[in-house]
Structure 1
Amino acid sequence: MLAHTESVTLEAPFSVAYPFLSNPENLPRWAHVFCQDIEKQGSEWLAQTVAGPLIIRYACDAASGTIDIISRLDPGVEDIAYTRLMPNGPGCEFTFTFFRTADMSDEIFDSQRWGLREEMRALRAIFRELVG
């Protein structure tokens, strides 16, 4: 499968960035191209996305800096976006990787790549604002 990875340097310490990024309620703040709204439903979250409602859950491990976003596409079918936050001096590096699914068109894949770039820019701006 074809993969796409973006990374961004965040001007915030890990102790500030990890709690923000690992909280699904913040997803619409930084991943605004993908997710316009989100609400908790039991142990999962219902995200309102450009493609319609999507059930997601997070798999997080602060020790390794992982914050994986698992989307349920259909019953028994999941797609995972792998992310990692790494301390880098006084700030952090955040990487986000997604894979092109078998049924994804070139146009959708290109659109998702563009959207992720925009979201990384938004994330950088959010942390500049949060940290001052």
Structure 2
Amino acid sequence: MEAIAFESRHISTRIARPAADVYAYASNPANLPEWAEGLGDTIEEIDGQWVAESSPMGRVVVVFAPRNEFGVLDHDVTLPSGEVVHNPMRVIADDTGGCEVLFTLRRQPDMSDERFQRDADMVAGDLAALKRVMERA
């Protein structure tokens, strides 16, 4: 069976902080409400899982890739339906002592152009919030 390729959009922002600092902050799920509005305004660890009760999608569970030295912040979001959405994300050091944070948004099956754009705008807003938080610290 041939795999179906869905559209991806790469959304990024540059942050004037060392990649290690940004990675350490962004990889801690407890910090998500400060910068990832798309996952809601609260998150708590329940039975070893990070749960956002008030996300725009309803109750979701967020699982990050294990901590690593490569800046990989991939995370899976389990929706109320049980569907799991994989979100590739990276923190990449640059030559200025800062970094770039890159999120790959993948269009889900049956997603309208309007909804895909809305999700892209939400991710861009979340990355802008991450930049504000990290650069004021």
Q: How does the TM-score come out when normalised to structure 2?
A: 0.85
Counterpart of 2:104?
Answer: 97
Q: How does the TM-score come out when normalised to structure 1?
A: 0.88
By how many angstroms is 1:106 displaced? Answer: 2.5
Query: Percent sequence identity over matched residues?
Result: 27
Aligned residues: 129
Counterpart of 2:15?
Answer: 10
Cα distance between partner residues in 2 of 1:90 and 1:26: 23
Counterpart of 1:71?
Answer: 77
C-alpha RMSD over aligned residues: 1.6
Cα distance between partner residues in 1 of 2:66 and 2:9: 21
Moved runs in structure 1, 4+ residues, more than 4 A? none
By how many angstroms is 1:14 displaced? Answer: 2.0
TM-superposition CA deviations, 1:71-124 (whole Å, max 9, x none): 12344x421111011111311111011211113233221111111111122121
Higher strand share goes to which structure? 1
**Structure 2 alignment gaps of length 5 or more:** 1-5
Within 5 Å, give how 1:40-51 maps onto structure 2. 40-47=45-52, 48-51=54-57
Q: Is the 8 A contact 2:91 2:102 kept in 1?
A: yes
Q: Is the 8 A contact 1:34 1:115 kept in 2?
A: no
